[in-house]
Chains A and B, each alone.
Chain A
Amino acid sequence: MDKIVVPKPRNLRRNAVVLSVVFLIVGSAVFAGFNPIEIIENFSKGKRLLGRMFLPPDWSYSAKVISPLLETIRMAIVGTFWGALTALPVAVLAAGNFLKNPWISKPVRLILNVFRTIPAMVLASLFVAVYGIGPFSGVVALSIFTFGLISKLTYESIEAIDFGQVEALMSLGADKPNILRYAIMPQILPQFMSYTLYGFEVNVRAAAVLGYVGAGGIGQTFEHNLAWRNFDRVGVIIVISFVVVLIIDFVSSHIRKRLV
């Protein structure tokens, strides 16, 4: 039998992509002065610090961690609530398939994209400057951050709905509010609730660090102890926060899986 000869696949494009990605990573590392050897050189220093934090942590401090941690969770809850509540109507305006008016959906989307590019930390520092140090600034920052996150995800969900159900409601004489109520909401509500829970997960983590810029919560306690070099207390804060975030993530993602 003759041997079948197949031409080699032309992987020019793929090779080009791989090459440029490698180039970008290496280039960025050099530019940022990142050097793996430095990590190893500083390893003993890190090891000493870890030892002071965790061997052992100052467990007697645990009770003092609870209250700011609860504040962090409260901040996340309130921030998620307001963010999600405002995100829903704005997502409806941003969706191109509901009002079918690009003069509304396009500008709204543009504004949403701007919102989304601002990290929660930046928002928090901004609001600390406006409203002063404390959890209120953190809540405002988280609300806006959540708003940006959830409105985007939700309007994309609205644009992906089964439009046949909308057409059916149109065909029987429903006006826009009724179409929203009877054809769109039933389709996106489970997803919206899932995004809200996801927002809450993200917010708990964000709220935990926001205190670093003075926006309340456990981050403020963390920053305070670090400044005083109470490393064994810092260790306790890290351990307890880690466990709480883990539990919240676990429960929340479990509920999310059952929603959609």
Chain B
Amino acid sequence: MIEFTGVSKVYPNGTRALNDINLKIEEGEFVAVIGLSGAGKSTLLRLINQLIPATSGTVTFDGTDVTSAGGKELRNIRRQIGMIFQGFNIVKRASVLTNVLSGRVAYHPTWKTILGLFPEEDKQIAYRALQRVDILEKVHSRASDLSGGQQQRVAIARALAQEPRLMLADEPVASLDPITTIQVMDYLKKINEEDGITTIANLHHVDLALKYSSRVVGVREGKIVYDVKIKDIDKKTFLADLEKVYGRAIHHDEMLGEG
């Protein structure tokens, strides 16, 4: 579904964030990307929907080269890719419904969505999405009135409203407490399993990666240094393998402590 071929990213200030990445992700996988802060995880994710352009190499989505796509073509690719963020990035001054409906804008002519003219069918899609994450009762609340965990669920609902084929999650639980963390991860997992939506999540906590993903990819200094399916993980060498990713023994705070 996703394929990176020889992808490098150098930011305008000269930072080489990714270096010659080759990576293939199959339909239906739940990939956890782990690594130190600054390793290049966000960069990797943002190259898939072209929030940032690649410096060299190609990224394909279902065989379409996203790195050379622009305008309408790129927007049509993006609408199939949901993204959730550490900071939620929902529109705080808008209602929950408006936020979720905005996930539909790329499916309609601009003049209609600007006027807020969404078909009834879209509203049903939005309600269903909110129901999926158990927050339908907040549909008319102002987004800023919700707690962090609730805001992240609205963000997931907005992504679901896109009817996406791929879900990108950039540290989706890094701003949440342990209990809401489990809730949000559970929703992501459920969506991945029930709808078959391929999911790629950057995670700070190694045990979350182990618990929820089907495959762990380790990034260090812009390179992929670890890439193993959960079912193939060798418990005996796992901690030593993690040292390859982190360059040191795993810290206590990189484990959530849920076992």
Contacts and interface: CB of A to CB of B under 8 A. Distances in A.
A36 B161 CA distance: 72
Interface stretch (A102-110, A124-132, A163-171, A225-233): A163-171
Contacts of B21: none
Given A168-B89, A171-B51, A173-B106, 16 more contacts: A162-B89, A164-B89, A167-B51, A167-B89, A168-B85, A171-B82, A171-B168, A172-B79, A172-B82, A172-B102, A172-B106, A172-B162, A178-B106, A181-B113, A186-B94, A187-B93
Interface in A172-193: 172-175, 177-178, 181-183, 186-187, 189-190
18 contacts: A165-B91, A165-B92, A170-B78, A172-B158, A172-B162, A173-B74, A173-B79, A173-B106, A175-B110, A177-B110, A177-B114, A178-B106, A178-B110, A178-B114, A182-B94, A186-B91, A186-B92, A189-B93
Contacts of A162: 89, 92
Contacts, number: 84
Contacts of A178: 102, 105-106, 110, 113-114
B184 interface: no
B96 interface: no
A175 B75 contact: yes
A182 B115 CA distance: 11
Nearest to B71: A175
Contacts of A175: 75, 105-106, 110
Nearest to A181: B114
Contacts of A170: 51, 78
Interface in B80-96: 81-83, 85, 87-94
A171 B49 contact: yes
A76 B74 CA distance: 47
A187 to B, nearest CB: 6
Main secondary structure of the interface of A (DSSP, over half): helix
Interface string A140-153: 00000000000000
Interface string A154-168: 000000001011011
Contacts of B168: 171
Q: Which 4 A-B pairs rank lowest in CB-CB distance, beginning with the nearest?
A: A173-B106, A173-B79, A173-B78, A168-B89
A111 B239 CA distance: 61
By size class, the interface of chain B is: 20 to 34
Contact of A182 (B81, B85, B88, B98): B98
A155 B81 CA distance: 31
Given A170-B51, A174-B75, A186-B94, A164 B159 contact: no
Interface string B141-177: 0000000000000010011001000001000000000
A173 B82 CA distance: 9
B103 A172 contact: yes
Most chain B beta-carbon contacts within 10 A, residue among A165, A168, A178, A189: A168
A189 B94 CA distance: 11
B158 A164 contact: no
A215 B103 CA distance: 51
B105 A173 contact: yes
Contacts of B98: 182
Nearest to B94: A186
Nearest to B99: A182
A164 B83 CA distance: 12
Contacts of B82: 171-172
Contacts of B37: none
Nearest to B49: A171
Nearest to B113: A178
A210 to B, nearest CB: 36
A241 to B, nearest CB: 38
Contacts of B68: none
Contact of A174 (B81, B106, B155): B106
B56 interface: no
A59 to B, nearest CB: 49
Contacts of A165: 89-92
Contacts of A173: 74-79, 105-106, 162
Given A165-B89, A182-B105, A186-B91, A172 B78 contact: yes
B178 to A, nearest CB: 24
A174 B51 contact: no
Contacts of B88: 164
Nearest to B158: A172
Given A174-B75, A178-B105, A186-B93, A168 B110 contact: no
A172 B88 CA distance: 14
Contacts of A168: 83, 85, 89-91, 155, 158
